[in-house]
Amino acid sequence: MTVLIDIVKDQARSENGQRAAALSAKYETMTAQEILRDAIRNEFFGDITLSSSFGADSAVLLHMVSEIDPSLPVLFLDTDRHFFQTLQYRDELKAKLGLQNLVVLKADETEAASEDAKGTLWRTNPDACCDLRKVRPLNRIMEGGKHFKVNPLAGWTQDDLDAYFARYDLPHHPLIEQGFPSIGCFTCTKPVETGQDARSGRWAGTEKVECGIHNPIYGGEGI
């Protein structure tokens, strides 16, 4: 079974684990739109956000959310290292989809000045840079309580994503046609050659493959 619900915080305590497993089973036969609608209007009503990188495939979930509740908070981690095209794309999608509640999260200024005064932490310690600019800002807004991550696109393929873009005439991130199928910070993202893994341009030349905000705690398969 594809795991659609992941416990993000409080570890896998039995009560939380049971709810996550029950929701995952419930959502197994639903479409992505049905999952989102139920999560937003029923299971997590008034207490749910969408976290978006405004990257290559982000328009799909953003469009689905805009059709259900355009006032839903959309969290965007501004690392101060984004391609300018990503910021333009963010603003374009926000306007086109009528998203009403974009919440921009950034590193604490004092921490950034102390830990990355020269702005080169991405080169000397990329894990620490991601922790400073991504993990901690997200953790601050999630402090306290129980948190679940809903993965409505867990079973989708690239063909599914492409078909959705075409069906709803969604704009693509402008860097895709320049050889960036996966887009992160400009300091740590390179274009890839045809046939290479889509994420091979992320932290190229290092063993790093993930920024730290997607590490699963409950389940794991399909996340």
Could you list the active site residues? Answer: 211
Query: From CA 91, how far away is CA 99, in angstroms rounded?
Result: 10
Residue 119 to residues 4, 136, 146, 211: CA-CA distances in angstroms? 37, 17, 34, 18
Q: Are 148 and 27 in contact (CB under 8 A)?
A: no
Question: What is the CB-side half-sphere exposure of residue 193 using CA atoms within 13 A?
Answer: 1
Question: What is the CB-side half-sphere exposure of residue 109 using CA atoms within 13 A?
Answer: 0
